Amino acid sequence: MPRGNSNYIPRPDGTFDAWVAHYYDAVSIWWDAQGLDPADLAALKDAWVAWQEAYPRHVAAQAAAESARAAKDAARAALEQQVRPVTNFVQGYPKTTNADRATIGISLRETSPTPAPAPSSRPLAIVEVNGRLTHQLRLVDESTPTRRRRPAGVQRAEVFVALTAPGQPAPSDPREYRYIGSVTRGETTLSFESDKGGMQAHYLSRWVSTGGAAGPWSDTASATVAA
């Protein structure tokens, strides 16, 4: 047993309560057997009696607090369950204004979302000839050419094409290109009629924001339409 310190006294209250009851009885018996004055144990007895009164009160109060906390949590959960459907009704009611929502203390609704600005970057078109009269067009952003994801705020890419005879340059005016569709998934397959075999297909594209604003034109991407 350790000597010269108080490590022998258990720290947890429950263990201490059992230990000190045995300690007091054993010390009292030993004191009497030695013929020592019982009055010298008066302070120990008073402290022991005070502990016997205080510890059960503490245990009862702790149990009551746990019970009260459980009751509180259950009451809150039940109240929140009633709050949510009422809030949903208020939020969806046609005459509810944001002033009403602020007064009630619920979330405000976006009344006029800020439209996304026109994209500042350009698409980079990669054309692959997969077979006769077919082109596979893949679009990435020029600032992140190794990634397929569109820039933030971009909804789609508009794709335009112009066809020229072999060896002829691509038109320089975007108005000479024909709109052929929008690409949202980053790639598309284009098919040509048989009489277009051997011609040169020149592609222009541009990003369009979620608000409908168009960005700058891409560089021209060209490929032969395999006959």
Q: Which among 190, 193, 213 is positioned nearest to 202, based on CA atoms? A: 190
Query: What are the residue ranges spanned by the domains of the chain?
Result: 1-112, 123-224
Name the residue with higher pLDDT: 216 or 113. Answer: 216
Structure confidence at residue 113 (pLDDT): 63
> For the segment 94-117, what is each residue's pLDDT rounded down to a tens digit?
899 999 999 999 999 876 667 778
Average pLDDT on 129-155 reads 91
pLDDT at 157 over 60: yes
pLDDT at 5 over 70: no
Q: Which secondary structure element, helix H or strand E, spans residue 52, and what is its range? A: helix 42-92
In angstroms, the Cα distances linking 156 to 64, 122, 197, 205 are 62, 12, 29, 10
Helix axes 42-92, 13-33, angle to 10 degrees: 170
Give 200's strand partners. 164, 224
Average pLDDT on 30-52 reads 96
Give 50's strand partners. none
pLDDT at 63 over 50: yes
HEC-encoded secondary structure of 172-183: CCHHHCEEEEEE
For 166, residues 6+ apart whose C-beta sits below 8 A from its C-beta are 198, 199, 200, 224
33 alpha-carbon distance from chain centroid: 73
The two tokens of residue 67 are 């019970």
> What is the DSSP-derived secondary structure letter of residue 8?
T
Residue at token pair 């005459």: 95
> How many whole angstroms separate alpha carbon 156 and alpha carbon 140?
11
> For the segment 202-214, what is each residue's pLDDT rounded down to a tens digit?
999 999 998 889 9
Structure confidence at residue 1 (pLDDT): 43
> How many whole angstroms separate alpha carbon 129 and alpha carbon 226?
7
Structure confidence at residue 109 (pLDDT): 85
> How many whole angstroms separate alpha carbon 19 and alpha carbon 17?
6
pLDDT bucket at 149, cuts 50 / 70 / 90: confident
Q: Are 126 and 138 in contact (CB under 8 A)?
A: yes
Average pLDDT on 180-190 reads 90
Q: Are 135 and 189 in contact (CB under 8 A)?
A: yes
pLDDT bucket at 7, cuts 50 / 70 / 90: confident
Residue 95: φ, ψ to 5°: -90, 0
pLDDT at 4 over 60: no
Average pLDDT on 22-41 reads 96
The two tokens of residue 48 are 């022991």
Q: What is the pTM of this model?
A: 0.51
Question: What is the share, in percent, of the chain residues with pLDDT greater than 70?
Answer: 96
Average pLDDT on 148-176 reads 93
Q: What average pLDDT is seen over the chain?
A: 92
The CATH class of the 123-224 domain is: mainly beta
